[in-house]
Structure 1
Amino acid sequence: MAVSQPLSENSVLPVIVMGVSGCGKTSVGERLANALNCRFIEGDSLHPPANIAKMSAGIPLSDEDRWPWLDLIGGLIGESVARGERVIVSCSALKKIYRDRLRAAAGGRLAFVFLEGSRAVFDQRMKARAGHFMPASLLDSQFATLEPPTGEPGVVTVDVDLPLAGIVEKALAGLQDLPAR
C-alpha cells in the first residue's frame, strides 16, 4: 500500500500510533510510514532493559518507569520536528498526561492514531504473537491504565476490527481530515 499522499499543511505533522498492547501499533505504524514516505520508530525498542525485564516478569510499569521512556520518544519527535521531517512512532501513550508530555515535546503539533478494540481481540493477538516481551497477562493492567483520547485534539480513532489495510486506510483518511494547526 504505497499511497504516499501529502497531508497539505500537516505534511510534517508527527504521528503516534497508540493503544494497548496487541492493538497493532507496529504493523499500522510501519504501513503508515511507508504510505507517507517517512521514518518509523518502534517505541517498544526504546524501553530501557529494566522496563523490559519488569514487563517480561508480568509486572506492570508505573508512571515512574514510563517517564524516561516517554521523554526519549518525545526527544526523538522533537528532533524530527526541528529538522522538518515527519515521523511515525508506535507508543502506547495510555494516559492523557503521557500524551500531553509528548505533545509538549513536539511543540504542540502532534497527531495520534488511537487503535481501539475489544479486550478479547487484543488478548487473542497477544497470545498469537511470538518473541514479544509483553505477556498477555498484562492486558488487564493496560486497559485499567488506558484513558481513551476522546475529545483530545489531533486524534484519529480507528477500530481494529478490520483487515490491516482497512485500518491503515482509515488512519490515512483521518489524518488527511485533521485541521491544519
Structure 2
Amino acid sequence: MQFLEDDHYITLTREGDMQAFGQLVQKHQRLVYTLAVRMLKNPEEAQEAAQDTFVKVYQSLSGFEGKSKFTTWMYRVVYNECLARMRKTKRNFTLIEDILENEHDPPDFLDGLELLQRAERAALVKKGIEMLNPAEAAALTLYYLDDQSIKEISTITGNSESNVKVQLYRGRKHLEQNLKKITNKELIGLL
C-alpha cells in the first residue's frame, strides 16, 4: 500500500478523522513493534507495548509540534513505554530479531549455501547482540536497523549526541568481542 506523508494523516486525525489515524498506525506499526520486541524480548508484551504506544500517540498528537520528524517523536514514545515496562519488571532488554536478513534480495537469486550462511550469520549476530547491555543494543538497533541519525537517537533516548556516539562505538566493539567468543566456543565444540 502506498502511504502519504505523515503530516497529511496528522492533520486529518487532528480534525477527527479516525481512518486517517488508522492509516498512520498501519504505516508505522511494524517499526513500533520491531523496536518494542527488540527491547522487551517478548512478542506478546511487545504487541501490548505497541498498542499502548499508539494510544499514547493518539492522545498526545495535539501536542506534537513538528520540531522533529514524526517518526522520531513516535520512537521516543515507544522507547519510553518499553523502559517503563522494563522498570516495572526490573529486567534488561535485548535484541532478538535477525539483523542480517535482507528482505530486498529475491530468494530466486540466492543459492542454498548462501541462504544457510546468512541464517548462520544472523543467528551469531543475534546471540552477540543479546549479550550487549540495553543502551548499546538500543543504539545499534536504532542506528543500523532503523536508519535513525545520531541526533534522532539522542532525542529518542534522552542521551546527548556524544553519549550516543560512545554507545555506538562501545556497542560495535562489544558486539565484535561477543561474536569472537561465540565463534570460538562453537569451533571448540566442533573439535
Q: Same fold (TM over 0.5)?
A: no
> Which is richer in helix?
2
Higher RCO (CA < 8 A, seq sep 6+): 1
Instruction: Compute the TM-score of the two structures, normalised by the length of structure 2.
Output: 0.27
